[in-house]
Each structure stands twice: as C-alpha cells, then as structure tokens.
Amino acid sequence: MKRKTISLVFSLLLSGILLFYLFSRIEFSRFQQILTSLFWPFLLAYIIIAFLASLFRTWRYQLLLKPRTTRTRDFLLVTLIRNLFVDLLPARLGSLSYVYLTNRSLSFPFQAAASSFLLAFLFDFLTLTPFLVIAILWVGLEQTPLASSYLILISVVFLGVVFFVFSQLAKILHILTLFFSQIEQSSKIRNRAKLHQAIFVIREKIEATAKELDRTKNNHNSWWIFILSLIIRALKYLSLYFLLSALLQPQLFSSFSLNFWTTILAITGAELTSILPIKGIAGFGTWEAAWALSLNLMGYNAELAIISGLGLHLITNLYEYSLGILAMLILALRSNPRIHSN
C-alpha cells in the first residue's frame, strides 16, 4: 500500500511539474481560442473513425475467441472500457482490463481471454513498424538521412523481436509453466500453503493459456488477423489526424503544415511514454511533453508543438473516458451474456 501511495504521489507531481512547464511556455488564452474554435466537421470525422476503429477491434477479439461467441454489443462495451483503462495505468497495465472483463463479465474462460489478449497485443506491435518506417522515409530521409537510417534499423529490429515472440509465444509460455512447476515443487514453497496455492494457480493458468494459444493459432489465418490489425492502426492514425486538423486550422497557425506521416511520428513518440513504469496521472504531462519534444525535434515551433499536444490528449481522453464510463454502466445493468460454441 505504501509503494502504491508513493507511486501515486510521484505521478501527480510529475503531471503537475510537466503541465506547469508546458503551460508556462504558451499563452493560455491561445489554448482557449484553439479549443473554442474547433472545426466541427473534422471533429465529427474523428469521432466516427475512432468509433469505427473500436468496432474493428471488437471484431478482431471475436475472431480470436472463436468458436466461442457472444453478443457483439456486449463485446463492444468491453472494448470501450479497455480503451478507457489502456493508458490510465503505467506500462499499459490498464489493457489487462480486457482479460478481467472478458473472463468475469462475459464469462469466457480465463485462458481464452488471456490468449486473445496476448495475440491482439502482439499484432498491434507488428503493425507499428510498417507505418513507422513509411513515416520516417516520408518525413526525415531527405533532411537527416543518417538519423533516419538508424531509426529505420531500430524499427526493423523491433519488428524482428516482436515477430520472434509472436512465433514462439506458446513455447515461451510452456517454459514459464516448467519454471513455475519447479518452484511449486520446492520444499520452501510447499511449507507456505498460501504461496504454494498461488503458484499452483499461476502455473495452471499459464499452462491453459499456452494450450489455448496453440489451438487459436492452428484455427485462425494469421494473415487475415494481421490485415485487420493494420486497418485498426490506420483508422487510429486517421482519426487522430482529423482531430489534429480540427484543432490546428490554418488561420490560427501560419506554420501549420503537419501532414499525416508527421502526425504518426509524433503519436509514436508520445505513446512510448505509455510503456514507462512511472508516468503522469492518466498520461497527463508525460504524453504532451513527449509529443511536443517529437514535433520540436522535427523543426516545429514550441507553441504549435505544445498546444497541439495539450488539445489532442485532452479531447481524446474526454472521448474515451465518456464512452468507457457509459459502457461500464450499461455492462453493469445488462442481462447476462450467453456464450455459444460452434
């Protein structure tokens, strides 16, 4: 409990310090002007495309869980709640809410929920590299060829690591099962009943998830799931580009020249903060600072970089939190879902 309190206080301080610094670099009236002058057609486009991305994400989860099925509207609620929590906790721990809700609220077996979560998580990372490499080639190769070449190399190596984990995931889980099995048989652990029981449960869950992964990968077309994941990522980037365009109209910023691929690089830089063990509360402060730094390194002025990051993160959080809270209320009041096996 003490560690959690310290972590919470540190996150609050980090958010406060970074936000204070960012707001000190701009005129607050300018930020207010941006928020009150949103271009509504583009804002509506953001909402529609972002919701469409959630529908595709729901469809992908359902495909990974086949032959078990449930009502699409119930699964959409879980996806919206997952979107709420995904960046709320450090190191993307909030995304684990999907496993909990799928298991507890929708009554899917734990191993099925965990297996679909792991595969979706890895597919999300597999689809990052293609967009990132194209963005680097589009934005930076002519201006800073050496730095861009290094970034491309890092991206390709990252893709290789993720692909290796994806292809060997079941084996990795089998190794973890053997590891916990050996710990479970230790005499020191056997003498501590509660700890022994906890390790036994963990081993069983990992073993069941490994078997479910083998079944899922044998019964599904990985290329189709990959294409679906590419669509989800493309919709995410497109929705945020429309939101950015709604915020930064040309008449408000004479230097406004953020194209789609520049936006991808800035989003990637900002989202890297979500994997940190410590970050600002709900990412506030750390997300905006990383976004501003990314744009600043690409030559954009500080005002554009800071205001765009503050506005983008505020509106996306309002959208996701509103839908997530509404989804939680509906999920709590709905009738019990029925799971069918084909």
Q: Which residue has the higher pLDDT, 211 or 229?
A: 229
pLDDT given at position 144: 54
Report the alpha-carbon distance of residue 304 to residue 292 in Å, rounded: 8
| Average pLDDT, integer, range 5-11 | 79
pLDDT given at position 178: 86
The pTM score is: 0.86
Contact, 19 vs 213, CB < 8 A? no
Three state DSSP letters for 174-189: HHHHHHHHHHHCCHHH
The helix or strand, by DSSP H or E, that contains position 160, with its residue range, turns out to be helix 145-167
Q: Which residue has the higher pLDDT, 292 or 341?
A: 292
pLDDT given at position 149: 67
pLDDT given at position 338: 57
CA pseudo-torsion sign 195, 197, 199, 202:
negative
pLDDT digits (tens, 9 = 90+) for 43-90: 999 999 999 999 999 999 999 998 887 788 999 999 999 999 987 777
Question: Which residues are CB-neighbours of 82 under 8 A, at least 6 positions away?
Answer: 94, 95, 97, 98, 101
* 3-class SS of residue 129: helix
pLDDT digits (tens, 9 = 90+) for 277-317: 777 787 888 899 999 988 888 778 888 889 999 999 999 99
pLDDT given at position 146: 46
| Average pLDDT, integer, range 85-105 | 85
| Average pLDDT, integer, range 203-227 | 83
Contact, 299 vs 29, CB < 8 A? no
The answer to whether residue 251 scores a pLDDT higher than 70 is: no
Among 15, 54, 39, 35, smallest CA distance to 322 is for 54
Report the alpha-carbon distance of residue 294 to residue 333 in Å, rounded: 43
Report the alpha-carbon distance of residue 218 to residue 170 in Å, rounded: 12
Neighbours of 228 (CB within 10 A): 19
Contact, 245 vs 259, CB < 8 A? no
The answer to whether residue 335 scores a pLDDT higher than 80 is: no
Contact, 276 vs 93, CB < 8 A? no
Report the alpha-carbon distance of residue 75 to residue 56 in Å, rounded: 11
pLDDT given at position 40: 93
Task: Show the tokens assigned to 102.
Answer: 């799928």
Report the alpha-carbon distance of residue 165 to residue 174 in Å, rounded: 13
The residue type at 18: L
Measured CA to CA in angstroms, residue 278 lies from 1, 132, 240, 340 at distances of: 16, 25, 25, 41
